[in-house]
Structure 1
Amino acid sequence: MAEKSEAAFRTIGEVSDEIGVKQHILRYWESCFPELKPITRAGNRRYYRPEDVALVRRIDGLLNTQGYTVKGVQKLLSGKGGEEPPAPATAVPALPIDELKAIRAMLADALAAA
């Protein structure tokens, strides 16, 4: 199957596979975020424009990576939340795998000693 161009419309299934978000979640986001309005055709088939896909990526990043709530993302997208701040303070910095393994071993030793 040939790769679609960046300007091509995408079905909800293609967006779901590309972003890694289930289709029912995308439909839910459409109800939560008025900015997300894919074109609908006969049979209620959704077609996402490139700007819709970009918005889905942004929403996904804010919700699933940066830890925002749906209400927080709604405020950001509507402009009521001001400028997009850096990741919330609850975000945990990524640690190298070796460091994480060392911490796990240290905790396991502490539990064994208790």
Structure 2
Amino acid sequence: MADKSDTAFRTIGEVSGEIGVPQHVLRYWETRFPQLKPITRAGNRRYYRPEDVALVRRIHGLLNGQGYTVKGVQKLLAAKGGGAPADAAAEVPVSTPATAPMALPIDELKAIRALLAEALAAA
């Protein structure tokens, strides 16, 4: 199959395969994120515009890459005025991600461990 143009509409199956999430998850996201509104044709066939695909990528990145909850992503998209695709890494989160680990340099972590060991030894 030939690659589609970046401006071409995509079916739910194509978006699902491209992003790596099942189709039922995309349908669920449509119920949770009002900004995500693919065009529906006869037989409820969904066609995702390029901006819809960008929003799906953004939602996927926030949920699975940065550890946001669905509610956190909803707040973030609502605060950004409809969820225009932007670089999610450059944004200031509305709330901290629920499961995102803190990223500290290894030297800083070793220093913290040493301080904790000293405190335990002194106790």
Q: Please give the TM-score of this superposition, normalised by the length of structure 2.
A: 0.68
Q: Give 1:91's aligned amino acid.
A: P
> 2: distance between equivalents of 1:2 and 1:67?
34
Q: Give 2:53's aligned amino acid.
A: V
Check the 8 A contact 2:11/2:46 in 1, yes or no: yes
Alignment map for 1:63-102 (pairs within 5 Å): 63-79=63-79, 84-85=92-93, 88=97, 90-91=100-101, 93=103
Check the 8 A contact 1:76/1:84 in 2, yes or no: no
Task: Please report how far the alpha carbon of residue 85 of structure 1 lies from its aligned counterpart in structure 2 after TM superposition.
Answer: 2.7
Is 2:24 the counterpart of 1:24? yes
Classify the secondary structure of the residue corresponding to 2:5. Answer: coil
RMSD: 2.1
Q: Give 1:23's aligned amino acid.
A: Q
1:104 aligns to what?
none
What does the per-residue CA deviation read over 1:37-78, in whole Å, with 9 as the maximum and x for residues that have no partner? Answer: 000000000000000000000000000010000000000000
1:48 aligns to what?
48
Aligned length: 91
Moved over 3 A (4+): 86-90
1:58 aligns to what?
58
Query: Gaps (5+ residues) in structure 2?
Result: 81-90, 104-123
Query: Gaps (5+ residues) in structure 1?
Result: 94-114
Q: What is the identity percentage for the equivalent residue pairs of Structure 1 and Structure 2?
A: 78
Check the 8 A contact 1:9/1:49 in 2, yes or no: yes
Q: Please give the TM-score of this superposition, normalised by the length of structure 1.
A: 0.73
Task: Please report how far the alpha carbon of residue 2 of structure 1 lies from its aligned counterpart in structure 2 after TM superposition.
Answer: 1.2
